[in-house]
Structure 1
Amino acid sequence: MSANDPIPESRRRGRASVSNATNRFERFVAEAVDDGWGRDEELPPLRTEVSVERPRRAITRNTSPDVHFDRSLNPYRGCEHGCIYCFARPSHAYLGLSPGLDFETRLVARPGIAEVLARELSKPGYTPAPLAIGTNTDAYQPVEKQRGVMRKVLEVLLEFRHPVTIVTKGTLIERDIDLLREMAAEGLASVGISVTTLDPAIARAMEPRVPSPARRLASIERLSTAGVPVRVMASPVVPALTDHELEKIIEAGAAAGAVAASAIVLRLPREVAGLFREWVEEAFPDRATRIMGRVRELHGGRDYDPEFGKRMRGQGPWADLLRARFLTAIRRHGLSETLPNLRNDLFRVPPRPGDQLSLF
Structure 2
Amino acid sequence: MSFLKFILKNPFRRRTSAILAIVGIAIGIVVIVALGGITDGLVNTFEDTIHAGGADFSISGKETGDSAYGTNTIDANWTEKIANVSGVEEAYPIYVVLTSVGDDYMNTLIGIDPEGANLADISMKEGRLFKDNESEAILGEIYVDDNDYKVGDTIKIDGEEFEIVGIYETGDQNMAGGVFTSISKVGELMDDEDSISNIYVKVKKGEDPQAVADRIDEKYGDDIATITSVMEMQQMGDMLNMLQASTWAISLLAIVVGGLGIINTMLMSVFERTREIGVLKAVGWSDRKILTMIVGESLVITIVSAIIGSVIGFLACTLLGPQMGISPLFTPKIFIQAFGIAIIVGIIGGLYPAIKAVKLPPTEALRYE
**Normalization by structure 2: what TM-score?**
0.20
Which protein has the bigger helix share? 2
Larger Cα-atom Rg: 2
Between 1 and 2, higher relative CO (CA 8 Å, sep ≥ 6) is seen in 2
Which protein has the bigger strand share? 2
**Normalization by structure 1: what TM-score?**
0.20
